[in-house]
Amino acid sequence: MAKPFEQIVTTHGAMVLRVCRAVVGPTDAEDAWSETFLAALRAYPELPADANIEAWLVTIAHRKAIDITRARARHAVPVAEPPDEPTEPTMAGRPDALDGELWRAVARLPDKQRTAVAYRYLAGLPYREIAEITGGSTDAARRAAADGVKALRTNVGGRS
């Protein structure tokens, strides 16, 4: 008794987009979203009826993010350090431009912290699921999320 896939997109599309923005950054987020849902659509008929849909989608998004990050690393000209005030022209005029400061702070987090924060606070996954997706222990996932949030509080001014 699987639901029409359209309902999966309706219910979880916004969440996956935020996770993608956090994990691969705003520029690649739309490609990551599209590849995630296309792969999910392909696999959907075989998904067990009792599966946790959020965890399943985030697992796919995590793999797609790794693919995209690797492809970007292969093609991009290496830059030593990201500038302190990135101009990010693709953000201009977007509805999320106001949150650019938050996304930039998330982008500066180490990989483990960034993914743990995204999967905990944007996808709402339990640490046990996060650990399965990112590898490592449940405690390590909890610590990474806590450290990540701490760093964000320090780096995002006037938000808390």
Partner 1 sequence: MTELFDNLPTDEATTTRLRERLAAAAASEGLLDVAYRTVDTPIGPLLLAATEQGLLRVAFERQDHAAVLAGLADTVSPRILAAPARLDAVARQLDEYFTGDRRAFDLALDFRLTKGFRRAVLAHLMDIPYAATESYTQVATAAGSPKAVRAVGTACATNPLPVVVPCHRVIRADGSLSGYAGGPDAKRTLLTLEAA
Cβ(148)–Cβ(109) under 8 Å? yes
Residue 94: CB minimum distance to partner 1, A: 8
Angle between helices 138-155 and 127-134 (to 10 degrees): 100
Q: Residues in the site for partner 1, rule: CB under 8 A?
A: 1-6, 9, 13-14, 17-18, 30, 33-34, 37-38, 41-42, 44-45, 94-96, 98-99, 102, 121-122, 149, 152-153, 156, 159-160
How far is 94 from 19, CA to CA, in rounded Å?
A: 17
Q: Identify which of residues 80 and 125 has a Cβ nearer to partner 1 in the complex.
A: 125
Q: Identify which of residues 3 and 70 has a Cβ nearer to partner 1 in the complex.
A: 3
Q: Identify which of residues 4 and 78 has a Cβ nearer to partner 1 in the complex.
A: 4
Residue 80: CB minimum distance to partner 1, A: 29
Written in H, E and C, the secondary structure of 32-77 is HHHHHHHHHHHHHHHCCCCCCHHHHHHHHHHHHHHHHHHHHHHHCC
